[in-house]
């Protein structure tokens, strides 16, 4: 992490998480109405949680807290992945769309892991 970062909004990983959240909101808008308080709500909350926890962690006072919140983001991302697979199995999402979104989820997961590693290095240097 360079000194150029002023807030979580400067983090590419947060920007991508926010884009992915928007994607899941739009995707789930067409799912069956009976899923409104089930799968739709759950995947939206999990997707929002990824970006929100990055932001909250960046706003914390210590690097250790930031690491903890990015870890929570990773957990939420795993939840998004699981819910997307469930949606695919229920035929709410086409196979090709699901595959593309899973690749985006995996890439974001790699970025979150990289952020944690960077933060751990920074913490170790202090």
Q: What digits encode the pLDDT tens for the residues 5-35?
A: 678 999 999 999 999 999 999 999 999 999 9
Residues 6+ apart with CB under 8 A from 120: 67
Q: How many residues does the chain have?
A: 126
The answer to whether the CB of 105 falls within 8 A of the CB of 80 is yes
Looking up tokens 């930031």 gives: 66
- φ, ψ of residue 7 to 5 degrees: the values are -155, 175
- pTM of the complete model: 0.92
Q: How many CB atoms lie within 10 A of CB 90?
A: 12
The tens digit of pLDDT for each residue in 66-123 reads 999 999 999 999 999 999 999 999 999 999 999 999 999 999 999 999 999 999 998 8
């Amino acid at each position: 992490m360079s000194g150029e970062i002023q807030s979580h909004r400067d983090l590419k990983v947060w920007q991508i998480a926010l884009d992915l959240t928007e994607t899941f909101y739009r995707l789930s808008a067409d799912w069956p109405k009976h899923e409104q308080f089930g799968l739709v709500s759950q995947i939206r909350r999990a997707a929002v949680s990824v970006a929100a926890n990055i932001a909250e962690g960046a706003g914390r006072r210590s690097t250790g807290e930031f690491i903890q919140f990015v870890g929570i983001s990773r957990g939420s991302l795993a939840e998004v992945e699981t819910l997307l697979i469930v949606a695919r199995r229920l035929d709410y999402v086409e196979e090709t769309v699901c595959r593309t979104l899973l690749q985006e989820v995996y890439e974001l997961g790699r970025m979150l892991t990289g952020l944690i590693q960077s933060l751990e290095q920074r913490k170790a240097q202090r």
